[in-house]
Amino acid sequence: MNPLLQLKNVRKDIGKKTIIHDLSLEVFPGEVFGFLGPNGAGKTTTIRMIVGLMGITSGEVLINGISIQKDFEKAIQHVGAIVENPEMYKFLTGYQNLLHYARMTKGVTKERINEVVKLVGLEKRIHDKVKTYSLGMRQRLGLAQALLHRPSLLILDEPTNGLDPAGIREIRDYLRKLAKEEGLGIIVSSHLLSEMEMMCDRFAIIQHGRLVGIESVQELSKQAQKVLLTVEPVEQALTVIKNIYPHMNITPAKQGIEVSIDYKEIPSLNAALVSENIKVYGIQVLTKSLEERFLEMTGGNEIA
Amino acid sequence: MPSILSLIQNENMKIYRRIGTWFMIGLLALSTLAGALIIKATYKEPKNWKAEVASEIKEMEAQLSEEKVPKMYKNHLEQQLKINEYRLEHNIKPVASNTFWGYLVDSADIIALITLFTIIVAAGSVASEFSWGTIKLLLIRPASRTKILLSKYIAALLFALCMLLLLFVFSAVIAAVVFGIENIREPYLAYQNGTVVEKNMLLYVMQVYALNCVDLVMMTTFAFMISAVFRNHSLAIGLATFALFVGPQITALLAMKFDWAKYLLFANTNLAQYIDGTPLVEGMTMPFSMMMLLVYFVIFNALTWFIFRKRDIAA
Ligand SMILES: Nc1ncnc2c1ncn2[C@@H]1O[C@H](COP(=O)(O)OP(=O)(O)OP(=O)(O)O)[C@@H](O)[C@H]1O
Ligand SMILES: [Mg+2]
């Protein structure tokens, strides 16, 4: 499969400072790809370079194999994006804003505008001025303008910023659906690992403008985990576990027992407990451990 | 790729969907009305226009008989003299401010107001996209920056054209109502190839309008440049209006001392100086000024384009 987006040794200098260091990655059709990094890591800068808002100091960005620098109009045709906050013309209505962007690409009909409005759930307010919108509604309108021209690459900088939990879930499900069913490549950025986990197939960890690593969510969740066991009786379970795994890090918690264990080992631990007649009510993989791993990789909360 | 027409349509939507624009149009109508009412209230009809023209002729003859009259000024005096003589001979009253045509000619001064409004619109059309943050969504469409810039520039000039038409219509209607249209058949007297000819008044009014538009186009282009370079609305408006109102005075002062003042923009914006006046610096001609205007025009636009095309959008 040909990649939708290719970054080849992309570098950005502003003044004497290097903001992005030789970043290379590929995004394929049908996947949701995350940019994960703390504040100031360079996520937005990278996105600006991909969509041609910022020049590239060295390296290359290819969209569908077309260079954004050499052939901007052709390369950008199939890209829909939100860069940072979705700022719209506040003195226009939501509909007029969409009309504005519709006129800038060939082949977006009135029907398509209405379709997208429905899709992001703004039917009731679309003819109101944008200045009367809440942040979440503006975010939805931002998504609408990015989808208008049926892009094959969708780039969303912190798309869930300002949305309520229902809205976050809605967008997450919708993005997954777009990727699965229509084969879009989608890039989302975030500083929240939990969000990456729920939305993405793969994500790049960026820190201080460098690529720290690319992780697959599926793989990651299989690595060493903290698991919360809800068992009864607790004392007996503790002895059983200590017997099988003498070196294991065990912490009794309020809700049960927390153990650090390899993903693959979970079934055998469960089997051991059950065979000792311990009642196992729940085995819960704690995402907190992923968060810890992320902090470990990025060196804590330090801002670039 | 969008056509330039749909881009202009977008810019128009952004201009005319704002209250401020309609405020400007209202202000224009109001100024036109106020101007007419003030003239109506204060204008004093000369008792005997023939006597007045005759005394003007005497004065001019006296001036002409003096030695050391600059050649350019002398030509100008001679032309006016001939026209005045023609008036007496053919019984054609001078165009007074309190007539239909007189007011239309006077209303061309209101073009300065239109220039100010167009500066505001042109400066805003680039700078505001930056301050609103909408520039990011605007520039990630399959339209080159050159095309987007051009559409904004054209939309600003279309706005000016629209305002000029409105000014003309407003002043014609107001002049007709306030001053009446009895003198509508009056001709305009011009001096051509050694003789005085009667010309259509409407054409003359249009000529006056056109000459007043030189400032408008140049200052709009200047404001557009400042706003694209500095991305700052107030700075662009401030610099352009300052230049508009103070530039000519400073240039005139410099022109008294230095010959090179003729290369300054404002030495060349007043093309009327070649038609019924004397040039600022001796030796300046209409083709020279046109050439200078073209040079400034190209420089302003080239700078705007060059800087906007490559700049990083970090707003
Ligand atoms: N125009 C600029 N001039 C100088 N430095 C800049 C400029 N824009 C961004 N930077 C720097 O580049 C780095 C990356 O910024 P960027 O906005 O890409 O971060 P981010 O990952 O999007 O952060 P956040 O999560 O806060 O949105 C920061 O250190 C920032 O200070
Ligand atoms: Mg950011």
Residue of B nearest to A55 (CA): B312
B146 CA → ligand 2 middle, Å: 27
Residues whose CB falls within 8 Å of the CB of residue A29, separated by 6 or more in sequence, listed in order = A1, A4, A152, A183, A184, A185
Q: How far apart are CA B277 and CA B271, in angstroms?
A: 9
Which residue from B7, B141, B314 is facing A54, i.e. has the nearest CB? Answer: B314
Kindly state whether B315 is in contact with chain A, defined as any CB-CB distance less than 8 angstroms: no
Closest by alpha carbon to B167, among B222, B225, B107, B227? B107
Q: How far apart are CA B21 and CA B120, in angstroms?
A: 10
Per CB-CB distance under 8 Å, the chain A contacts of B310 are 55
The string of DSSP codes covering A265-281 is: GHHHHHHHHHHTT-EEE
pLDDT on residue A291: 63
Confidence bin at A214 (pLDDT 50/70/90): confident
Distance from CA of A217 to the nearest CA of B (A): 30
Q: Are A235 and A296 in contact (CB under 8 A)?
A: no
Q: Please report the sign of the dihedral spanned by the C-alpha atoms of residue B90, residue B96, residue B98, residue B103.
A: positive
- Chain A positions contacting chain B at CB under 8 Å are 14, 48, 51-55, 72-74, 76-77, 79, 81-92, 96, 99-101, 103-106, 145
Q: 14-53 in B: which are within 8 Å (CB) of A?
A: 14, 17-19
The predicted model gives A146-158 an average pLDDT of: 94
A191 lines ligand 1 (CB under 6 A): yes
Per CB-CB distance under 8 Å, the chain A contacts of B14 are 89, 92, 100
CB contact under 8 Å between A101 and B18, yes or no, is: no
pLDDT on residue A292: 65
B303 CA → ligand 2 middle, Å: 31
Kindly state whether B8 is in contact with chain A, defined as any CB-CB distance less than 8 angstroms: no
pLDDT on residue B20: 94
Q: First-to-last CA distance in chain B?
A: 25
CB contact under 8 Å between A92 and B142, yes or no, is: no
pLDDT on residue A202: 92
- This complex has an ipTM of 0.87
A19 lines ligand 1 (CB under 6 A): yes
Q: Are B189 and B87 in contact (CB under 8 A)?
A: yes
Q: Is the pLDDT of residue A297 over 70?
A: no
The predicted model gives B95-109 an average pLDDT of: 89
Kindly state whether B128 is in contact with chain A, defined as any CB-CB distance less than 8 angstroms: no
pLDDT on residue A223: 64
Q: Are A258 and A251 in contact (CB under 8 A)?
A: yes
The domains of chain A, with CATH numbers, are: 5-216 (3.40.50.300), 224-286 (3.30.70.260)
Q: How far apart are CA A275 and CA A256, in angstroms?
A: 19
Q: Is the pLDDT of residue A301 over 70?
A: no
Which residue from B17, B142, B310 is facing A91, i.e. has the nearest CB? Answer: B17
Neighbours of ion ligand 2 (CB under 5 A): A 44
A47 CA → ligand 2 middle, Å: 9
Closest by alpha carbon to B103, among B155, B159, B177? B177
Q: What is the pLDDT of residues B41-68, one digit of tens each?
A: 888 887 788 888 888 888 888 888 887 7
In angstroms, what CA-CA distances link B114 with B33, B119, B132?
Answer: 15, 8, 25
Closest by alpha carbon to A84, among B133, B131, B132, B141? B133
- Planar angle of CA B78, B80, B81, nearest 5 degrees: 60
CB contact under 8 Å between B310 and A74, yes or no, is: no
A13 lines ligand 1 (CB under 6 A): no
Say how many C-beta atoms besides its own lie within 10 A of residue B187's C-beta.
15
Q: Are A106 and B171 in contact (CB under 8 A)?
A: no
Q: What is the pLDDT of residues A20-39, one digit of tens each?
A: 999 999 999 999 999 998 88
pLDDT on residue A300: 56
Say how many C-beta atoms besides its own lie within 10 A of residue A262's C-beta.
13
pLDDT on residue A182: 87
Q: What is the pLDDT of residues A56-101, one digit of tens each?
A: 999 999 999 999 999 999 999 999 999 988 899 999 999 999 999 9
What percentage of chain A's residues is helix, strand, coil (to nearest 5)? 35, 30, 35
SS (H, E, C) B240-271: HHHHHHHHHHHHHHHHHHCHHHHHCHHHHCCH
Distance from CA of A106 to the nearest CA of B (A): 6
Residue of B nearest to A69 (CA): B310
Q: Is the pLDDT of residue B193 over 80?
A: no
Confidence bin at A299 (pLDDT 50/70/90): low
A21 lines ligand 1 (CB under 6 A): no
Kindly state whether B141 is in contact with chain A, defined as any CB-CB distance less than 8 angstroms: yes
Distance from CA of B117 to the nearest CA of A (A): 19
Distance from CA of A264 to the nearest CA of B (A): 46
Backbone angles phi, psi at B304, to 5 degrees: -55, -50
Segment among A247-256, B108-117, B303-312 with least mean pLDDT: A247-256
Question: Residues of B223-262 as b/e, b for ≥16 C-beta within 10 angstroms?
Answer: bbbbbbbbbbbebbbebbbebbeebbeebeebbeeeeebb
Nearest atom in ligand 1 to A84's CA = 27
Closest by alpha carbon to B281, among B258, B299, B265? B258
Residue of A nearest to B131 (CA): A87
Own/partner long-range contacts of B155-159 (Cβ < 8 Å, ≥24 apart) = B155/B8, B155/B11, B155/B12, B155/B15, B155/B125, B156/B118, B156/B121, B156/B122, B156/B125, B156/B220, B156/B224, B157/B118, B157/B217, B157/B220, B158/B8, B158/B12, B159/B15, B159/B21, B159/B117, B159/B118, B159/B121
A13 CA → ligand 1 middle, Å: 12
Q: Is the pLDDT of residue A110 over 50?
A: yes
Q: How many residues does chain B have?
A: 315
Per CB-CB distance under 8 Å, the chain B contacts of A55 are 310, 312
Domain ranges (residues) in chain B: 4-45+96-310
Per CB-CB distance under 8 Å, the chain A contacts of B314 are 48, 53-54
Distance from CA of A97 to the nearest CA of B (A): 10
Mean pLDDT of chain B: 89
Residue of A nearest to B11 (CA): A100
Q: At A252, which amino acid appears?
A: P
Kindly state whether B256 is in contact with chain A, defined as any CB-CB distance less than 8 angstroms: no
Residue of B nearest to A142 (CA): B137
